[in-house]
Structure 1
Amino acid sequence: MKYTVLGAGAMGLRYGILLQEAGFDVDFVEIWEPQISKIREQNGVYVSRDHQNKHLVPVNIYTPEEYTGDPDVWIVFTKQMQLAKALERTSHAFKDHQYALSPMNGMGHIEKLDQYFDKSKVIGATALIGTVLNGPGDVDFIGAPGAGSMHMANQTEKPDDTTNQIVKDFQKANLNPSLTTNFLGTLMAKVIFNSVVNTLCTMFEIQMGEFIQSPVAEKLGRQLINEAFDVCERANITLLNTREEEWQTVKTVSAVSNPLHYPSMYQDMSKGRNTEVDYINGYIYDLGLKYHYEATTHDFLRNLVHLAEFSRDFDPKTLLETVNE
């Protein structure tokens, strides 16, 4: 099948390049102009693995307005805040027969995809795969070949022939997919994982391996997991894991699979971009409110991240000007 990646950031590049190297026809559509310009200037993307073996991989990249391809599957990997605009700009290329698969972080994207694709052709997914965009046209795959895993679930919870073919293609690309028939439970399991690892590592500017070695990591992690499970139980969402299994996933991925990885939220924070915390911890808190439950730890962390964003961007000159007034 032919694939087009909408959102050629760190994870979009990893998925697309691995599929391309497995023999599939892949295009990339990107909305960030520096990424497009750099990739075109150097005739491809520089790819490393764990900071080593940097090499150039040719890719086809387009702006949304330029793109006229007709893929069987769109792999959607923009940031949550950018998705609505990216879909609008690319909508001329969407066709009824196409599927949309999105392993994006957080929640909020499915409703936007449903505006352009029939629900029978929307596949939600999650990815426990570490990748870093060092800069425009320069990506680092974290972990050995075959490291990481992903889950997929049809929005209808009824896998069809195309879905099964996608699974086979992703297996060939060494993305380690698992197909489930629990749509919300699949997506929320990753949201909960990110609500622990992404947010805490970002707040303290640490790698996942450092976080998990902390003597308070388990206490903090279980507190966030328990609140999130309390919310999901009230929302009648059956998660893929038990509370214990969710903690063990956090522990194993942090200690064994990706100990050197800085999560994507940290990458956004360190590069001056807004984070997706409202779509992760904030989503859990807001979902809880609908069922008269306050996940206060998640709300507290969300506000801490926003305070960190504010302080990062704050100009001390404005404070001095206020004092002098």
Structure 2
Amino acid sequence: MPYLTDLDDIREAIARYSQVKTLWLDIEVANYQSKDKAKVSLIQVLDDSTDLSGDQVTVLDVLQQPKLVDEFVEQIMIKPDLEKVIHYATYDLQYLGGKRKAKNVTCTWELAKSIPYYIIPLPNYQLKTLAESLCYFPPIDKSEQGGDWGKRPLSEKQLAYAKMDAVYVAQVHHRLLQLSQLTNPNPETENIDALVTRYQQIEPKWKELDTEIYHIKSRIKKAMIQRKINNVNGFQLSSQNRTTKTIKINELVKVLSSSEETFDLSLKVTSDWSKALGKIFEELPIDEVKETIMILREKEIDEDEDLPF
């Protein structure tokens, strides 16, 4: 594993990697808990997806050389014909040019989310989970994830952890592409009879589970409302205030007939009506019905909890 700290060596590596077609990337951030003090410590780069040991991963130490991060962005991140594969790219792009500037970025977290749950029924889409479950890596030690990436020298354990994240990204990426192809075949070649048969096999069970889920959620919602509980075991209860405005059609016709303007409106009274009619809308007799709508949602897992990846 090349671990580069020299300015010229890092620049040479950046220039070399700018000529390839695909890179699998990861970064480590020093002081990541503080937005003001956070800065890139390491950039891990892999251009050989067959590497399972991390020997081909190049670790660029840019902690004290922020200009090299800018060069990495200018030569690699914004290059449209060079694919950059990153897990949970939203986080890394905060430090590598941003979503608007970076081009041709593939996010394995988003790719995993796009695959139906029944194909990969996982508790979350963290890199560790995907690498262990889809690529059969042994249990991954993430203890260094929250380590001090601002100190120097880095420990051997830190460097070993850093290089392997790029390996995990590459292997997870390839596995997700395979699964994506399996779950999104060409519609022209789909076996419709087989799909219909499978649908008919699972439909009764689906209806049973779907109605049970709806029934249970309704009971949870009623119980939480009655007991004034907002959060319980992964469910969150929130409220929204809704105002419904109604008018009599004959009153509307009278007002419109007295106006020289022509309006093309639906019968449902919405905010669009008030905008379209302007002052005329204010002249209409309006009945308002106000109600509070209770909404029950399943809380999503916060993917940021274990950052940085």
Q: TM-score range by the shorter chain?
A: under 0.3
TM (norm. structure 1) is 0.25
TM (norm. structure 2) is 0.26
Higher relative CO (Cα under 8 Å, sequence separation at least 6) belongs to 2
Q: Higher helix share goes to which structure? A: 1
Q: Larger Cα Rg: Structure 1 or Structure 2?
A: 2
